[in-house]
């Protein structure tokens, strides 16, 4: 299953988009972007919760 992570969906005025398989590695890329570009060091749990709040089940995030 795929997911599209957009900074703008999470309140940032930013055009950054990640599109790919719903996986921990994709979420880590998003976390790294938010930290480096926006100066916010979210925990992985917070990033996962952002995805869950958008309607994705936690169980569908792959551990790759």
What is the domain partition of the chain in residue ranges? 2-60
Structure tokens of 52? 């869950």
The structure tokens 């709040």 sit at 53
Q: What is the CA angle 31-33-48, rounded to 5?
A: 20
Confidence of residue 1 (pLDDT cuts 50, 70, 90): confident
With beta carbons less than 8 A apart as the criterion, state whether 31 and 7 touch: no
Q: List pLDDT tens digits, range 43-57.
A: 999 999 999 999 999
With beta carbons less than 8 A apart as the criterion, state whether 17 and 29 touch: no
Question: What does the alpha-carbon distance between residue 61 and residue 40 come to, in Å, rounded to a whole number?
Answer: 22
Chain center to CA of 1: 14
């Amino acid at each position: 299953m795929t997911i599209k992570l957009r900074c703008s969906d999470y309140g940032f005025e930013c055009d950054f988009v990640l599109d790919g398989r719903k996986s921990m590695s994709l979420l880590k890329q998003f976390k790294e972007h938010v930290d480096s570009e926006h100066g916010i060091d979210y925990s992985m749990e917070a990033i996962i919760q952002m995805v869950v709040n958008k309607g994705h089940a936690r169980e569908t995030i792959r551990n790759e």
